[in-house]
């Protein structure tokens, strides 16, 4: 049998096996077997040296033609296998357009934001506007103009974050409450009547516990005008509590002290967990404190640009996180700022 016959046989065998190959791994194996350095074609080429010199050129051409034919066949098979793999992938990933759509994952409002919006809605229906004030305040606005001079013992009620300021400049701090906004709002509207709420973040240099955070929200309320009385304050707060906790909620006022109001009160609602019988949440008192309030002190009115001999006003302050804790039975304020998705998912 001549070398030409061997090449023809090899070519037919290789092409036949190539036609039956359907994946990349088998193609690589076929290539190594027939076109590799130790493959069948290379093995036959070693017999060229035994041919007569006159026969070698024709035999070399036959080898080159066979190699070219096998390489062309391999290229076509690789393209066929690639297209088949793509087709299989498309079929595997095909969408059934008759299936119902998948519900997209949506974000949700933070419970503090939800509570702030609820508070704003309730007071908005009572005619209160929203007034925003800065989180960084001067010592005067945070304390002095609120009837707390530098040596006033009431300053000990707040642990304060003071910011670095150049020597001789007025001290600057992160506000400890939203009450400084009262002065900003009054100076903007005076001598006109005013009815605003002032929501925002506050900061106190306190140890973080289940009941206290170094950063939290507050909502300040302020109304100034002629003939405003403590009865107006009580009616406003009772109406707010009924909107928030239901018309049947019981409320009470207790005397208290705040340097910027006189008289001052604490506002409580009946514990909705125990119905007033006493439990761990209400410390067995049957009542839950939700805010502090009072009639605006004459000095504060004067510092805001109003004449306390002609007008009066009331103010109140509440913590949305505390409102939410009481409303949803949350026992640790640290959950609000933890970023824990398990907690936030409950308020979708």
pLDDT tens for 42-69 read 777 777 666 777 777 777 787 778 788 8
Nearest Cα residue to 306 out of 189, 188, 190:
190
Q: Tell me what pLDDT residue 302 has.
A: 97
In the prediction, which pLDDT does 1 show?
Answer: 54
Q: What is the pLDDT of residue 195?
A: 97
pTM of the model: 0.67
Confidence of residue 95 (pLDDT cuts 50, 70, 90): confident
Cα–Cα distance measured from residue 320 to residue 297, given in angstroms and rounded to the nearest whole number: 24
Percent of the chain with pLDDT over 90: 41
pLDDT of 215 higher than 70? yes
pLDDT of the residue at 258 = 92
Q: What is the mean pLDDT of residues 284-295?
A: 90
Q: In whole angstroms, give the CA distance from residue 81 to residue 100.
A: 34
**CB-CB contact of 193 with 226 (8 Å):** yes
Q: Tell me the CB-side half-sphere exposure of residue 108, using CA atoms within 13 A.
A: 14
pLDDT digits (tens, 9 = 90+) for 131-152: 999 999 999 999 999 998 888 7
> Using 50, 70 and 90 to split pLDDT, how confident is the model at 80?
confident
- Kindly state the average pLDDT of the residues 72-78: 84
Of 155-164, 238-247, 279-288, the range with the lowest mean pLDDT is 279-288
Q: In this model, does residue 166 exceed pLDDT 90?
A: no
């Amino acid at each position: 049998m001549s070398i030409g016959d061997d090449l023809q046989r090899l070519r037919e065998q290789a092409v036949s096996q190539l036609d039956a190959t359907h994946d990349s791994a088998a193609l690589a194996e076929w290539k190594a077997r027939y076109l590799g350095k130790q493959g069948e074609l290379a093995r036959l080429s070693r017999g060229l040296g035994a041919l007569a010199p006159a026969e070698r050129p024709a035999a070399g051409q036959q080898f080159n033609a066979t190699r070219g034919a096998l390489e062309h066949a391999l290229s076509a098979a690789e393209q066929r296998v690639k297209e088949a793999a793509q087709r299989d992938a498309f079929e595997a990933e095909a969408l059934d357009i008759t299936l119902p759509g998948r519900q997209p994952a949506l974000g949700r409002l933070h419970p503090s934001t939800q509570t702030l919006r609820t508070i704003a809605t309730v007071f908005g229906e009572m005619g209160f506007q929203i007034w925003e004030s800065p989180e960084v305040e001067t010592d005067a606005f945070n304390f002095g103009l609120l009837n707390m001079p530098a040596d006033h013992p009431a300053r000990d009620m707040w642990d304060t974050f003071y910011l670095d300021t150049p020597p001789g400049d007025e001290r600057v701090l992160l506000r400890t409450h939203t009450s400084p906004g009262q002065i900003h709002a009054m100076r903007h509207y005076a001598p006109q009547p005013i009815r605003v709420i002032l929501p925002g973040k506050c900061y106190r240099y306190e140890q973080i516990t289940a009941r206290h955070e170094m950063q939290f929200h507050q909502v300040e309320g302020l109304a100034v005008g002629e003939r405003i009385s403590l009865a107006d304050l009580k009616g406003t707060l009772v109406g707010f509590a009924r909107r928030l906790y239901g018309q049947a909620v019981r409320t009470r006022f207790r005397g208290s002290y705040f340097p910027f109001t006189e008289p001052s009160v604490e506002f409580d609602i009946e514990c909705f967990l125990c119905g007033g019988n006493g439990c761990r949440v209400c410390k067995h008192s049957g009542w839950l404190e939700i805010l502090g309030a009072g009639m605006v002190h004459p000095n504060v009115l004067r510092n805001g640009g109003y004449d306390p001999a002609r007008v009066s006003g009331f103010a109140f302050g509440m913590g949305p996180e505390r409102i939410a804790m009481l409303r949803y039975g949350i026992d640790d304020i640290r959950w609000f700022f933890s970023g824990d998705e398990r907690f936030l998912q409950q308020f979708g």
